[in-house]
Structure 1
Amino acid sequence: MAFLGTLCLILVLTTLAGNLSNRLGVPAVIGELLVGILIGPAVLNWVQLNNLVSIFADIGVVILMFLGGLESNLQLLMKYLRPAIVVATSGVIFPIVLMGLASWWWGFTVLESLFIGVIFSATSVSISVAVLKEYHALSTREGATILGAAVADDIIGVVLLSLMISLLASQGIQTAGSQPALALVLIEQVAFFGGTYVLVKWIAPYLMHLSERLVMASSVTIMSMVICMAMAWLADIVGLSGAIGAFFAGIAVAHTPYRAVLADHVEPLGNAIFIPVFFVSVGLNMTFDHFLHNLGIIVILTVLACLAKLLGCGLGARLSGFDGTSSAVIGTGMIARGEMGLITAQIGHQAGLMSESDYSAMILVIILATIVAPLLLKQTLKRMPKPKAVAEETA
């Protein structure tokens, strides 16, 4: 029952912080992230990232991405698939090169520097989805490109992580747990996307129609949550982020007559409990252990973490025909880091590739980049011509 008190504290503080953020003209997610830092180990140490908080946070990101899928335009996503792949690829190359070179210059070994580059090559688009939703830019061509690039980025991230684990093994460095062969992982992911097509085309419409005939309160909403959670679970099994599975579940359900009803039912559920816990959990990861000792590398890598995605993804967008403002929106939309970066850093730490001090610095840089990302995204969205965004939404 103690968790109920923790949950009450989180909900009260995130509501107040979100209100203050909105009044100050700052994305509400910033206030919620800062609440996590304030009440977590970094400052007051009132709340720790325990199992229950992690479970609620996982559900929160799944619901957030499901809502993102509900509001997305599948035709727009398909139309901008090629630019999304270009953006994702350039957005992976730049962090590996820039942050790898900076780490090597700072004194890390070549293998450690390469590993740090891989840590920051991954994007967590969940934060950006919240900002895009808040500013009604999710169904623009920029939003579609960001979402498509996030999917491609996740696949590239899995491949890079598998290659790094193989490289570590070749150097005699053992990582925790057994890893499936890369070829098997890729086959499973191809099967997942094939199953996603079947879900969108046939399974989701049938299940949603069936749920409407059940004599049960909220049966349609329950069925949508079953589809959402199942897709998130399957995505996790094949090595992708559960958020990606939830996103495609949202797209599948959006192509049924129940889209508006579900948005009205699911969004209050997510915003009332689970999504605030997710944003707070990001802040709970932060500590200031070894902060002064690592201040130099933390500042350098935080700046590069933002610039690498901004320049890399922005360049990819420019090469795909976007103008400067749209390229900046796409670049800033890809800055936030998240679960893949945290997982990769943890693997390096457990393998002894990173000291406790270096590991703390990497986590701190991930959190700082994630906090900066919504602020930069909001500023670039404000520069985007409004008529253009509206036109794309209705296309």
Structure 2
Amino acid sequence: MELSLLNLLLVLVAAWLGGLLATRLGYPSVLGELLAGMLLGPPLLGVLHGSEALAVVGELGVLLMMLYIGMEIDPRELGRASKGGVLAALGGFITPFVACYLIIYYVTGSAYAAMFVGVAAGVTSLATKSRILVDLQLLDTRIAHVMMAGALIADTLSLLIFAGIIGVAQFGSVSVMDLALVGLKALAFFAVAALVGLKLIPRFGVWLQRYAPGRTVSFLLIVVVALLFAEGAELAGLHGILGAFLAGLFLRERTLGRTLSKDLMDLVRDVSLGFLAPIFFVTAGFEVTFDVFQQHPILLAGVIAAATVAKIVGTALFYLPTGYGWREGVVIGAGMNGRGAVEIIIAQIGLSMGIIDATIFSILVFMAIFTTATVPVLLKLGVDWLKRRNELVRSDHERRGVLIIGAGATARALGRVLARSQPVWVVDRNPQLCALAESDGLQVICGDALDEQVLGEAQAAHVRTFIAMTANAEVNALAAQLARTVFYVPEIHVLFSGGDEAEHQSLLAHLHATTLFAGPVSLVAWDYRIEQERIVRSKVPVEQPMPASRFFQALQGPRPALPLALLRGDRYLPVHSGLTLEPGDEVIVLQAMDVPAMPRDRFDHLVAQAPVLDLSRQLSLEEFFRVAAEPLAARLGLEAEALQRRFLEREALSSTVVFPGVAIPHVIVEGHGRFELVVARCREGLRFPDQPERVHAVFVLARSEDERTFHLQALSAIAQILQREDFEQAWLMAPDAEALRRLLLESERRRLPLPAGSEPDEALPEA
């Protein structure tokens, strides 16, 4: 068994290009991979070809893909499925199963082939649903929730029935004894799998977490577990994909822990969906024959029509007991009509076992392509139909609450207001900000907002509104995309801090999101104002209808203003660009205010004149002293390089880090009455020798010998400023260099009077 590397390379390239094209068009990548195999393989051009080695690689990819699907499915979701979801799943599976079974049995006379086609017709793929539901703005509707639950149940049911068919088919004939033996072997397998999964795998997970062998070894071990389950299924007369699927159900977060589970899921997904499984789907396309269009066009059309009509009609009929009406059932059936990867896997296994021939296999492949392609069209027509009849039900009662990404001062202020009328969850990586949010009475998850597990803990699957308002635009965009495409949150509001407005508008269009606060807002500046209590809060009544964006523009004047939230009746809502203000609404507005003047001393005048460096990139200590020495040298009339050497030599004697995160490097220079200061914020932190923590605040001093007294006074002033409880947070959150200067000037401390008759060189800046 020899593997042609050139052929493998061409198959991978074809899979990548086909999958990329399909996803760009809004369809699952598996359809593009199938079409690539059909067009470039033996069915048409013959550029690519299959081999035994390629088939083995593809089969391994399918096993790992089923492992990933199992890890993705939460068994608790099956138990929480709504009545409508269960009925839609049963109707959407049973009716097309029976219809296609009867057609194939009538034509071929093979019960096994008919059952295979019936199971494939009953499958419901969710691969394209999230994108379609986002585009049609249906995520907050009842039909969306029913479709999700129905597809989950239908696919699980399909795998179980498929396993039974495989077991029976191996006997070649059906008798009571054969059926009993198949049933006993299947029950034995499920019993052993459940025992191992519930008793041994949790201990295995504890061992993995405790001894932390690393991601690579952990990945290898869970693949071994999946292959053991797959082999167990094979020994029981079932198929290995069922064993891998069950292994995935047990290898979940509860067993492996959130962090390890997320890492391993990412690895399994990347290896299976990104590398091995595409080989399977491309080579599956090799088995398709276009002759079916000439030799069996009626059978092809009949199976596709039966699968489509039976799925829609069956779903609608079974959905009637919910009392929501047959029209809603028809639309749900249209949305569940797409097939995908699971159907192709079932068909390929049937072909490899000789249960179905190339003609039936080709019919199943074309059925998957056609039904998936028609879902967006049929679903849109159905939704428009429900809208015209005013029967599209928004599930407000099912989704409630707000999830805010970011726990800065502005986010906490917004959260406190919104929490007056609905639950609010906050996610942030900073433990200090999380503690402040908790003290405000908000529900807090401290973790990475780009981690699906973290968002899940923060109720992203149940909230109605998602607000991304960190100072990092990229984090906001990625978190919003997760909220929309993974958790289907219906309302997404994203902060716009300025910058590339075209890129921001493109993001909003892609996610059907809106701009938080209805205009560009400097989050860091508002965090700073709120922390420093430099705001005035007021309620502005709305007297006439107007877009929120126009209201935002009207607020902007000499002093910055922020429309924080809206009070409509007894509900508090976030202000965003998609909102229209109505008479009777009240907008809670924050407005910046001035700070009263306070007495100044010599240190204040020194700070007012000092260069303030706001360094965003990470520097070595040598680089930092070179940057800091340049403005000092210009003021002192010295060579910058020589001054840099003095600071480095001083640092070599003993560290000038005086507090965690704060350093005060200082040197003595020649002359009389000379005292200069450079203030620096290092956002990424400086690494000083033999210091465990990075330094973010640096006060660089250079003085002559006669300024020893003022040197001590300056050190005392800095020490008093550092005693502020919120200094570190305020320092890191200040928007720019001038805000850093104001922070030093406005801090409360003991100020020494200026000597009589002394005059500052420059007036102090306005606070």
TM-score normalised by L of structure 1: 0.76
Match of 2:159 in 1: 154
Deviation at 1:286, TM superposition (A): 0.3
Q: Which shows bigger deviation, 313-322 or 252-261?
A: 313-322
Does the CA-based 8 Å contact 1:124-1:334 persist in structure 2?
no
Does the CA-based 8 Å contact 2:100-2:118 persist in structure 1?
no
Compared CA separation, residues 311 and 124, structure 1 to 2 (3 A): closer
Q: Which shows bigger deviation, 277-286 or 153-162?
A: 153-162
* Partner deviation per Cα, 1:37-64 (whole Å, 9 max, x = no partner): 1122211223334322221221222222
Compared CA separation, residues 56 and 210, structure 1 to 2 (3 A): same
* Partner deviation per Cα, 1:273-323 (whole Å, 9 max, x = no partner): 102112213212202346412223222223223433444456445657885
Q: CA–CA distance in 2 between the matches of 1:276 and 1:314?
A: 35
Q: Which shows bigger deviation, 21-30 or 10-19?
A: 21-30
Aligned to 2:251, what secondary structure does the other structure show? helix
Q: CA–CA distance in 1 between the matches of 2:159 and 2:377?
A: 26
Q: Which amino acid counterpart does residue 293 of structure 1 have in structure 2?
A: Q
Correspondence list, 1:185-224, <5 A:
185-212=182-209, 213=211, 215=213, 218-224=216-222
Does the CA-based 8 Å contact 2:167-2:238 persist in structure 1?
no
User: Quick check: 1:122 aligned with 2:84?
Assistant: no
Q: Which amino acid counterpart does residue 58 of structure 1 have in structure 2?
A: E
Compared CA separation, residues 231 and 131, structure 1 to 2 (3 A): farther
Compared CA separation, residues 157 and 220, structure 1 to 2 (3 A): closer
Q: Which amino acid counterpart does residue 28 of structure 2 have in structure 1?
A: P
Does the CA-based 8 Å contact 1:53-1:277 persist in structure 2?
yes
Does the CA-based 8 Å contact 1:17-1:28 persist in structure 2?
yes
Q: Which shows bigger deviation, 290-299 or 184-193?
A: 290-299
Match of 1:307 in 2: 309
Match of 1:362 in 2: 360
Does the CA-based 8 Å contact 1:189-1:238 persist in structure 2?
yes
Does the CA-based 8 Å contact 1:315-1:327 persist in structure 2?
no
Q: Which amino acid counterpart does residue 190 of structure 1 have in structure 2?
A: L
* Partner deviation per Cα, 1:108-148 (whole Å, 9 max, x = no partner): 47x35x565323111389993654688899x9664454333
Q: CA–CA distance in 2 between the matches of 1:367 and 1:214?
A: 43
Match of 1:174 in 2: none
Compared CA separation, residues 334 and 101, structure 1 to 2 (3 A): same
Compared CA separation, residues 131 and 69, structure 1 to 2 (3 A): farther
Q: Which amino acid counterpart does residue 343 of structure 2 have in structure 1?
A: R
Q: CA–CA distance in 2 between the matches of 1:102 and 1:271?
A: 32
Q: CA–CA distance in 1 between the matches of 2:37 and 2:123?
A: 16
Match of 2:31 in 1: 30
Q: CA–CA distance in 2 between the matches of 1:187 and 1:321?
A: 40
Does the CA-based 8 Å contact 2:116-2:346 persist in structure 1?
yes
Deviation at 1:326, TM superposition (A): 4.1
Compared CA separation, residues 161 and 228, structure 1 to 2 (3 A): closer
Deviation at 1:79, TM superposition (A): 3.1
Q: CA–CA distance in 2 between the matches of 1:241 and 1:124?
A: 19
Match of 1:73 in 2: 74
Deviation at 1:361, TM superposition (A): 2.8
Match of 1:337 in 2: 343
Correspondence list, 1:210-289, <5 A:
210-212=207-209, 213=211, 215=213, 218-254=216-252, 255=254, 256-257=256-257, 258-289=260-291
Does the CA-based 8 Å contact 1:232-1:243 persist in structure 2?
yes
Aligned to 1:181, what secondary structure does the other structure show? helix
* Partner deviation per Cα, 1:215-272 (whole Å, 9 max, x = no partner): 5662211111112222222223334343332222122111220211112222222233
* Partner deviation per Cα, 1:197-225 (whole Å, 9 max, x = no partner): 33332222222333452656622111111
Q: Which shows bigger deviation, 87-96 or 274-283?
A: 87-96
Does the CA-based 8 Å contact 2:122-2:158 persist in structure 1?
no
Does the CA-based 8 Å contact 2:42-2:48 persist in structure 1?
yes
Deviation at 1:9, TM superposition (A): 0.8
Does the CA-based 8 Å contact 2:312-2:332 persist in structure 1?
no
TM-score normalised by L of structure 2: 0.42
Does the CA-based 8 Å contact 2:334-2:378 persist in structure 1?
yes
* Partner deviation per Cα, 1:368-391 (whole Å, 9 max, x = no partner): 112234334566788699978988
Q: CA–CA distance in 1 between the matches of 2:279 and 2:345?
A: 15
Compared CA separation, residues 161 and 64, structure 1 to 2 (3 A): closer
Does the CA-based 8 Å contact 1:97-1:117 persist in structure 2?
no
Does the CA-based 8 Å contact 2:189-2:233 persist in structure 1?
yes
2:370 equivalent among 363, 369, 372 = 372
Match of 1:5 in 2: 6
User: Quick check: 1:60 aligned with 2:61?
Assistant: yes
Q: Which shows bigger deviation, 211-220 or 59-68?
A: 211-220
Does the CA-based 8 Å contact 1:310-1:334 persist in structure 2?
no
Q: CA–CA distance in 1 between the matches of 2:303 and 2:336?
A: 21
Q: Which amino acid counterpart does residue 246 of structure 1 have in structure 2?
A: A
Compared CA separation, residues 156 and 199, structure 1 to 2 (3 A): same
Aligned to 2:247, what secondary structure does the other structure show? helix
* Partner deviation per Cα, 1:135-163 (whole Å, 9 max, x = no partner): 899x9664454333333333334545666
Does the CA-based 8 Å contact 2:87-2:319 persist in structure 1?
no
Equivalent residues, number: 373
Compared CA separation, residues 366 and 242, structure 1 to 2 (3 A): same
Does the CA-based 8 Å contact 2:96-2:122 persist in structure 1?
no
User: Quick check: 1:91 aligned with 2:93?
Assistant: yes
Using the aligned pairs only, state the percent identity: 21
Structure with larger RCO (C-alpha < 8 A, sep 6+): 1
Match of 1:394 in 2: 461
Q: CA–CA distance in 2 between the matches of 1:218 and 1:386?
A: 45
Q: CA–CA distance in 2 between the matches of 1:127 and 1:285?
A: 23
Q: CA–CA distance in 1 between the matches of 2:122 and 2:239?
A: 11
Aligned-residue CA RMSD (Å): 4.1
Compared CA separation, residues 300 and 253, structure 1 to 2 (3 A): same
Q: CA–CA distance in 2 between the matches of 1:393 and 1:234?
A: 37
Q: CA–CA distance in 1 between the matches of 2:321 and 2:399?
A: 24
Q: CA–CA distance in 1 between the matches of 2:305 and 2:344?
A: 17
Deviation at 1:188, TM superposition (A): 1.9
Aligned to 1:292, what secondary structure does the other structure show? helix
Does the CA-based 8 Å contact 1:96-1:117 persist in structure 2?
no
Q: CA–CA distance in 2 between the matches of 1:346 and 1:264?
A: 30
Compared CA separation, residues 276 and 95, structure 1 to 2 (3 A): same
Aligned to 1:121, what secondary structure does the other structure show? helix
Match of 2:653 in 1: none
- The structure where strand makes up a greater share of residues is 2
Q: Which shows bigger deviation, 236-245 or 67-76?
A: 236-245
Q: CA–CA distance in 2 between the matches of 1:3 and 1:268?
A: 23
